[in-house]
A and B are shown apart, each in its own frame.
Chain A
């Protein structure tokens, strides 16, 4: 895969406080990269540095090979972004807003604008003033604004903030589609874990300005093997028996039975043992860990995270 965004040892110090501490990562074309962390961890600051709204103290950021520091115009040409809320000129119509941004990049035709409006489904309301738009429509107009110049990198900072479930789903579908069909690299930041789980290919976890971990989302969730939930009676004895047979595995008891981390291949053997010992088995369920569990494990911060 071809990489399009590269952060190299990026550090940001504001008034003697290190906000971002030596962050490096790459994002590839066609990939949705999630940027995850509790509030105040430095997500938005990092994104502002990527799009050149903020200067960095140390390090460099390359977009399509051009440095945002020394070659701003060339680098930012590849980027379409919504930073925080999609703030538009409320006294202009949706169309005038798009014309406004279209004039700032060369080579955007009227047809292109019409095509984008069609894509985000605003055709009916595009000539209304933005102040009459709902939040969802503003979000879509924001998306239209960043797609005008066919960027290779799409950056969305907290794109689902304040949207209702239908709006969230809509954004998620757009993002996946753009990455797949247009081979765009998408960087999404969020503190909503469930959201990231459904949207992203890869995530980077940021905490206190440091990049804690970057992993494929599948590996990340299943990072410590798969767990199985066994509904079994009597569960206390079952726990003791299993601990005897699988001294290596992590085994815990839960309300109706036992949870054991084990490879799938070993499950039939396990069932046989339990049956022979006279236990009654009512069900076996594979339970993939959620992103939230892993997130809390990685950040070790039980209270900070909020589940969407």
Chain B
């Protein structure tokens, strides 16, 4: 199995396209970093001296809105904001802090979509290309079960995703440290759970944040892998997956306005951050529900890939 993964890794890294992807990821991260750096000079995120006063005013306003609100989701959201603001005042944690390495790493997480895009391209090709190259015939006449061959390819795709996100995280940390420096007193991240506010180390929070943000990427990558295996067509796999990567969530939230069954759509559930930082897309959605739905889709994608690959008559 290790040998098979080594093979797949070799096939990915002996192609120039892979290095183009890595270079693009690094260039775009750098561009964003420089952009923030130039912003920092004009609007030197100086901490508002009266921030406690501002928060108090904000809370009064939020409280008023909460009383008028009809929807439970909205009321929960206001309640959470108020609780966090009160915690800040009580423990002297300003809401705005000077732009530093950790704020940059968090901002750079939007580029996970880009890492996702690149991983989708790899996932879409990893099975389909073997068919279009004709090498699948030599690959499948080895004394190795077809399941193992496919599994090694899937694991390689996941490793590649991890690799891309790793590059993003490490590179944006280094760049952030150079350009923005470390904060004097790293502020903890404030978690809100059932009326209680707790502190969390910012680095640990970032790990969790990156992890959860990668879920939709993993799901789409698995889908691309499935399409690649079932239809043996990498263009279709790339096209469809990228289309859904960029439009899936918006489209689902549109549907969610009208139909409650929208919560069963994959994209209503890919963003687990909605339970931590925001509010769920639809009422009645909970973290366990979303995890269950994700596992369901995941199992369906993988089952289809493996079933079709096992049964296929190779006549390329």
Contacts and interface: CB of A to CB of B under 8 A. Distances in A.
B7 A100 contact: yes
Contacts of B141: 51-53, 76, 79, 81, 83
Contacts of B14: 89, 91-92, 96
Given A84-B134, A87-B133, A48 B314 contact: yes
Q: Which bucket holds chain A's interface residue count? A: 20 to 34
Contacts of B143: 72-74, 76-77, 104-105
Nearest to A78: B143
Given A48-B314, A52-B141, A79-B141, A89 B3 contact: no
A73 B3 CA distance: 17
Interface in A53-92: 53-55, 72-74, 76-77, 79, 81-92
B140 A104 contact: no
A77 B3 CA distance: 17
Contacts, number: 76
Nearest to A51: B141
Contacts of A88: 135, 138
Contacts of B315: 48, 53-54
B313 A53 contact: yes
A78 to B, nearest CB: 9
- Report whether over half of chain B's contact residues are helix, strand or loop; otherwise say mixed: loop
B135 to A, nearest CB: 5
B311 to A, nearest CB: 8
Contacts of B142: 76, 101, 104-105
Contacts of B71: none
Contacts of A55: 311, 313
B7 to A, nearest CB: 5
Contact of A103 (B4, B137, B145): B4
Interface string B176-191: 0000000000000000
B135 A87 contact: yes
Contacts of A90: 133
B10 interface: yes
B258 interface: no
Contacts of A85: 134
B149 to A, nearest CB: 9
B56 interface: no
B145 A72 contact: yes
Q: A14, A48, A52, A104: which has the most chain B beta carbons within 10 Å? A: A104
Nearest to A50: B141
B122 to A, nearest CB: 14
Interface in B3-17: 3-4, 6-7, 10-11, 14-15
A145 interface: yes
Given A91-B14, A92-B14, A96-B14, A73 B145 contact: yes
- Report whether over half of chain A's contact residues are helix, strand or loop; otherwise say mixed: loop
A95 B144 CA distance: 21
Contact of A87 (B15, B134, B144, B314): B134
Interface string B266-302: 0000000000000000000000000000000000000
A55 B312 CA distance: 8
A148 to B, nearest CB: 10
Nearest to A44: B315
A16 to B, nearest CB: 15
B221 to A, nearest CB: 23
B120 to A, nearest CB: 21
Contacts of B133: 87, 89-90
B137 A100 contact: no
Contact of A52 (B134, B139, B140): B140
Given A54-B313, A91-B15, A104-B4, A73 B135 contact: no
A79 B142 CA distance: 8
B137 A53 contact: yes
A275 to B, nearest CB: 63
A101 to B, nearest CB: 7
Contacts of B4: 103-104
Nearest to A81: B141
Interface of B: 3-4, 6-7, 10-11, 14-15, 133-135, 137-145, 311, 313-315
6 contacts: A14-B313, A48-B313, A53-B137, A87-B134, A89-B11, A89-B14
Given A82-B138, A104-B3, 15 more contacts: A14-B313, A48-B314, A48-B315, A53-B137, A53-B315, A76-B143, A86-B138, A92-B10, A92-B14, A100-B10, A103-B4, A103-B6, A104-B7, A104-B143, A105-B143
Interface of A: 14, 48, 51-55, 72-74, 76-77, 79, 81-92, 96, 100-101, 103-105, 145
List 3 tightest A-B contacts by C-beta distance, closest first.
Answer: A87-B134, A103-B3, A104-B142
